Amino acid sequence: MTTLDLEHLVQPDKVHKSVYTDERLFELEMEHIFEKAWVYCGHESQVKNVGDYWTVQIGRQPMVMVRDKDQVVQVLYNRCPHRGVQLCGNQSGNTGQAFVCSYHAWSFHLNGKVRAIPLMKGYDGTALKTSDPDSSMVPAARVKSYRGFVFASLSSTGPDLLEFLGDAKVAFDDMCDRSPMGEVEAVPVMHRVVQKSNWKFFMENQLDALHPSVTHQSTGVAARRVEQRLKSDNGSAPLFFHYLSTFASSFDQWDSVQTVNFPHGHGILKAYMGLRPTDPDTVEYEGILKKAYGEEKGEEYLGRSIHHVLIYPYLSVQSPLQQLRCLRPISASETQSEIWHFRLKGVPEAIYQRSLWYFNLVNSPATMINADDLENWTKAQIGLQSNGGEWVSLHRNYGQDTEKEGVLYSNNGTSEVVMRNQFIAWKAYMLSAQSPNPV
Ligand code: FES
Ligand SMILES: [Fe+2]
DSSP class of 290:
H
For residues 140 and 267, membership in a common domain is answered with: no
Distance CA 430, CA 422 (A): 12
Residue 3 in this model has a pLDDT that exceeds 70: no
For residues 132 and 186, membership in a common domain is answered with: no
For residues 67 and 117, membership in a common domain is answered with: yes
- Among 146, 174, 191, the domain-final residue is 146
Q: Ligand 1 pocket, 82 CB below 6 A?
A: yes
Residue nearest to atom 1 of ligand 1 (CA): 83
For residues 358 and 410, membership in a common domain is answered with: yes
Q: Of 344, 327, 345, which is closest to residue 336 (Cα–Cα)?
A: 327
How far is ligand 2, taken at its centre, from the CA of residue 213, in Å?
A: 9
Model confidence at 439, in pLDDT bands (50, 70, 90)? Answer: very low
Q: What is the CATH number of the domain that holds 87?
A: 2.102.10.10
Number of the ligand 1 atom closest to the C-alpha atom of 80: 2
Q: Ligand 1 pocket, 100 CB below 6 A?
A: no
Average pLDDT over every residue of 237-266: 92
Q: Give residue-wise pLDDT tens across range 71-102.
A: 999 999 999 999 999 999 999 999 999 999 99
For residues 355 and 304, membership in a common domain is answered with: yes
For residues 80 and 191, membership in a common domain is answered with: no
Q: Tell me the pTM.
A: 0.95
Q: Give residue-wise pLDDT tens across range 315-360.
A: 999 999 999 999 999 999 999 999 999 999 999 999 999 999 999 9
Q: Ligand 1 pocket, 101 CB below 6 A?
A: yes
Asked if residue 342 is part of any domain, the answer here is: yes
Q: Ligand 1 pocket, 83 CB below 6 A?
A: yes
2-6, 136-140, 348-352, 408-412: the lowest-pLDDT one: 2-6
Asked if residue 273 is part of any domain, the answer here is: yes
For residues 115 and 183, membership in a common domain is answered with: no
Q: Ligand 1 pocket, 229 CB below 6 A?
A: no
H or E segment at 430? helix 417-432
Distance CA 315, CA 332 (A): 18
How far is ligand 1, taken at its centre, from the CA of residue 150, in Å?
A: 28
Asked if residue 74 is part of any domain, the answer here is: yes
For residue 265, the model assigns a pLDDT of 97
Asked if residue 389 is part of any domain, the answer here is: yes
Task: Please indicate whether residue 433 or residue 43 has the higher confidence score (pLDDT).
Answer: 43
For residues 178 and 272, membership in a common domain is answered with: yes
Asked if residue 285 is part of any domain, the answer here is: yes
Residue 278 in this model has a pLDDT that exceeds 90: no
Asked if residue 367 is part of any domain, the answer here is: yes
For residues 267 and 129, membership in a common domain is answered with: no
How many domains would you assign to the chain? 2
Structural domain span for residue 324: 166-209+257-432
Q: Is 23 exposed, middle or buried (0-12, 13-18, 19+ CB in 10 A)?
A: exposed
Q: Ligand 1 pocket, 137 CB below 6 A?
A: no
For residues 414 and 352, membership in a common domain is answered with: yes
For residue 12, cis peptide bond before it (omega within 30 degrees of 0)? no
How far is ligand 1, taken at its centre, from the CA of residue 34, in Å?
A: 28
For residue 183, the model assigns a pLDDT of 98
For residues 72 and 173, membership in a common domain is answered with: no
How far is ligand 1, taken at its centre, from the CA of residue 101, in Å?
A: 6
Task: Please indicate whether residue 240 or residue 148 has the higher confidence score (pLDDT).
Answer: 148
Q: Ligand 1 pocket, 80 CB below 6 A?
A: yes
Number of the ligand 1 atom closest to the C-alpha atom of 104: 3
Q: Is residue 68 within 8 Å of 111, Cβ to Cβ?
A: yes
Residues around ion ligand 2, judged by CB within 5 A, are 373
How far is ligand 1, taken at its centre, from the CA of residue 87, in Å?
A: 9
For residue 433, the model assigns a pLDDT of 72
How far is ligand 1, taken at its centre, from the CA of residue 139, in Å?
A: 18
Q: What is the CATH number of the domain that holds 286?
A: 3.90.380.10
Distance CA 358, CA 146 (A): 24
Pairing of strands 267-269, 308-311: antiparallel
For residues 269 and 393, membership in a common domain is answered with: yes
- Among 91, 116, 146, the domain-final residue is 146
